[in-house]
Amino acid sequence: MATLFDFASAGISALTPYKPGRPIDEVKRQYGLSEVIKLASNESPLGPSPAVIAAINAAASGCHRYPDGNAYYLKQALAQKHGCSVAQITVGNGTNELLSMLARLFLKPGVSAVYSAHAFIVYKLSVMMAGAEAIEVPAVDFGHDLAAIAAAISPSTRMVFLANPNNPTGTLFSEAQFTEFMALVPENVLVVLDEAYFDYVDPAVRFDGIDYVERYANLVVTRTFSKVYALGGLRIGYAISSQALADLLNRGREPFNVNAIAQVAATAALSDEAHIAQSVALNASGMRQLLDGFKALDLAVISSYANFITVDVGEGAAVAEKLLQQGVIVRAIGEYQLPHYIRISIGLASENQRLLSALQQVL
Ligand SMILES: *Cc1c(COP(=O)(O)O)cnc(C)c1O
């Protein structure tokens, strides 16, 4: 007789779970350290703005009430920010939830999804969870090869995942490359454009995927509050798409998928533009500081447009472990087929300095 576990979804049984950056407290306990810094999860080193903290405090006494399942105020603010209608927005318990919802909506055994080598690993996990085939396309210069991705689309393909910039490589593709790509994608294949790091990209070189949602009915753009908005711990992200796709997503989601505190925090975060500008400026100076430091250490990097830098240290896992012993958490990225590299999130100037000193010792 078949066992209980023989009936479990083959896709889920076969997958390797997501490996998050180590929590600071866990590293302190394990290594008996009192001063640990984390540059491993691309979190904003400034933290949320005072306006966000005030909004969270004010909302705390109301948390016996269920959240607004429609996220009314947040969607109003997002519609205004992006010049879209409220009916085009889906909010999620992090972008992660939206990515797996999209995969569940379009994928099943027998169909496929396409993404780039070294792309954000949640794409692969979402495809596997749905039991579909993953088609991984070789990268060029560590970035997405959009022409090859378009060419890899087969009659069984239902979705393509793109990250711009990509994590963990920080690579960016241009508006011209994107529109050439979209012209090659069949209208019945969904393109998921993940813009988690949009705000960090120099406005001179970036384009806003949301501007293209009107033109392409098969495009959905995702954004997160986990990075520049500094709300990773609250789990909130959103997708903007055609109204028809948003309607499907909103039918399929859990009724209260985004909690009440996250909704008020995100709404407050959108309104504090000065804090966002400060975070972006801090990131730009931290990027220069780290690039100078890596140059001095003679380390090669992958040019990044985001809030992290991926650096060739020879043996990523071993170096990351030695940095842990020094109280510096970074990310080895062997599971991204980049075993020589570590990914370092840009921190405060003092944290960046500490990382550079620790790295010099370890190497
Ligand atoms: C961090 C990140 C996200 C955000 O995920 P959340 O679930 O919103 O925290 C999405 N996409 C990429 C590529 C990321 O690196």
* Measured distance CA(131)–CA(98) in Å, rounded: 17
96 Cβ closer than 6 Å to some ligand 1 atom: yes
42 Cβ closer than 6 Å to some ligand 1 atom: yes
What are the tens digits of pLDDT across the range 216-274? 999 999 999 999 999 999 999 999 999 999 999 999 899 999 999 999 999 999 999 99
Query: How remote is the C-alpha of 88 from its chain's centroid?
Result: 21
The answer to whether the beta carbons of residues 250 and 86 sit under 8 Å apart is: no
CA of 143 to the centre of ligand 1 (A): 17
120 Cβ closer than 6 Å to some ligand 1 atom: yes
Specify the pLDDT at position 20. 84
What are the tens digits of pLDDT across the range 38-91? 999 999 999 999 999 999 999 999 999 999 999 999 999 999 999 999 999 999
CA of 84 to the centre of ligand 1 (A): 22
CA of 231 to the centre of ligand 1 (A): 11
Residues near 95 by beta carbon (within 8 Å), at least 6 away in sequence = 194, 196, 222, 223, 224, 226, 237, 238, 239
pTM above 0.95, yes or no: yes
CA of 3 to the centre of ligand 1 (A): 36
Residue minimizing CA distance to atom 12 of ligand 1: 196
308 Cβ closer than 6 Å to some ligand 1 atom: no
Q: Is the pLDDT of residue 296 over 90?
A: yes
Residue minimizing CA distance to atom 11 of ligand 1: 196
The answer to whether the beta carbons of residues 162 and 191 sit under 8 Å apart is: yes
168 Cβ closer than 6 Å to some ligand 1 atom: no
Reported residue count of the chain is 363
Q: Give 287-296's long-range contacts (Cβ < 8 A, gap of 24+).
A: 287/346, 289/349, 289/352, 289/353, 290/344, 290/346, 290/352, 290/355, 290/356, 293/352, 293/356, 293/359, 294/356
Considering the chain, what is the average pLDDT of its residues? Answer: 97
> Phi then psi for 214, rounded to 5 degrees?
-65, -40
What are the tens digits of pLDDT across the range 29-51? 999 999 999 999 999 999 999 99
Residue minimizing CA distance to atom 10 of ligand 1: 196
Mutate to test the pocket of ligand 1, among 220, 226, 333 (most ligand atoms within 8 A of CB): 226
Q: Is 60 left (phi over 0), alpha (psi -120 to 50) or beta?
A: alpha
Residues near 130 by beta carbon (within 8 Å), at least 6 away in sequence = 11, 103, 104, 107, 108
CA of 162 to the centre of ligand 1 (A): 12
Give the pairing type, strands 308-312 and 219-224: unpaired
Atom nearest to 97 CA in ligand 1: 7
Question: Given CA atoms 160, 163, 164, 168 in this order, what sign does their dihedral have?
Answer: negative
> Phi then psi for 346, rounded to 5 degrees?
-75, 125
